[in-house]
Amino acid sequence: MSGAPSFEQLLEEITEQLASLPDKPEESADATLRALWHAAAGVPKSAELAREVQLPALGAAQQETLRSLIARRLHGVPLAHLTGRQRFLGLEMLAGPGALIPRKETELLARSAVDLLQRLGGGEPTVIDVCTGAGNVAIAVACRFSAARVYASDLSAQAVELARRNAAHLGVQERVQFRTGDLLAPFDTPEFHAKADLVTCNPPYIASANVGRMAKEIAEHEPRLAFDGGPFGVSVLMRLLRDAARFLRPSGWLAFEVGLGQGPSMMRLLGKHADYMGATGIEDERGAMRVIAAQRR
């Protein structure tokens, strides 16, 4: 397009404005513009993948589309909603407003789940992932353990629909079964009682009073159901501890994500819980406890 600004010119134009937006670690100004550029070209990619491939040429209409995408991003629409893509543990996943955008911090839960399954050795482990959202943890497990029987649920029908699309997108639709319902309720049958080798959960853990203080980019574009954890932020976690015990086999594992600062109190609670033993706090790269794993007695 004659006279159209170059990538470098656009990057200089928007870098300062993007700096004022709450972004994810991988969403630098450079990566953001590259991802929007690919989306405008009709070949959507996550911010991470967009940095790894060459930029395509844009025609006049595509340049206009790019300008529109940039404007929407600067107005706070999440990048993953504009591109429809988000990378999670090396997987190029579909993203949309129906479910929480997969976060880097949740990769720690998925890696922990993989580590726990490796401890179990061979066989065909049964895994149940609740509050599955876009299906990222369940699908990551299925991608790494072809023998695993993976089941997942979410209270939101929109999230379950996106999770199913993700499973098909990544070729594991035959190995992950998604159900709509509250926590473990969709699996409350003898078929699942005391049968799970691993139960995982990335629950909503933001206290209700703090939801209104969250960045507008999150509060106005992502489902409140995915982050509102009740008056103290632990309502779902407390139910999870109570209910998961019925589904775990003896020595099976429960692993779940916690919010910043919630780890120590949850560890103390698990230390006194009659159904669990060997609770372990798993820290992120900054030394914050973000995942807890415990075994069923």
Question: How does strand 85-88 pair with strand 91-94?
Answer: antiparallel
- Two tokens at 173? 């639709």
Count CB atoms within 10 A of the CB of residue 117.
20
Buried (b) or exposed (e) across 132-163, using 16+ Cβ within 10 A? bbbbbbbbbbbbbbeebbbbbbbbbeebbbbb
54 Cβ neighbours under 8 A, 6+ residues apart: none
- Kindly give the confidence (pLDDT) of every residue in the chain, 297 residues in length, as a single tens digit, with 9 standing for 90 and above: 456 899 999 999 999 999 888 768 899 999 999 999 999 999 999 999 999 999 999 999 999 999 999 999 999 999 999 999 999 999 999 999 999 999 999 999 999 999 999 998 878 999 999 999 999 999 999 999 999 999 999 999 999 999 999 999 999 999 999 999 999 999 999 999 999 999 999 999 999 999 888 888 998 999 999 989 998 889 999 999 999 999 999 999 999 999 999 999 999 999 999 999 999 999 999 999 999 999 999
C-alpha–C-alpha distance, residues 53 and 190, integer Å: 49
- Tell me how far CA of residue 125 lies from CA of 113, 150, 196, 227, 248, in angstroms: 12, 8, 7, 29, 11
- Name the residue among 72, 109, 282 with its Cα closest to residue 199: 109
pTM: 0.95
- Single-letter code of the amino acid located at 87: R
C-alpha–C-alpha distance, residues 177 and 157, integer Å: 14
User: What is the set of domains in the chain, with CATH numbers?
Assistant: 7-83 (1.10.8), 104-296 (3.40.50.150)
Strand partners, 255: 200, 293
C-alpha–C-alpha distance, residues 75 and 81, integer Å: 13
Contact 37, 66 (CB under 8 A): yes
For residue 196, give the DSSP letter: E
C-alpha–C-alpha distance, residues 297 and 82, integer Å: 46
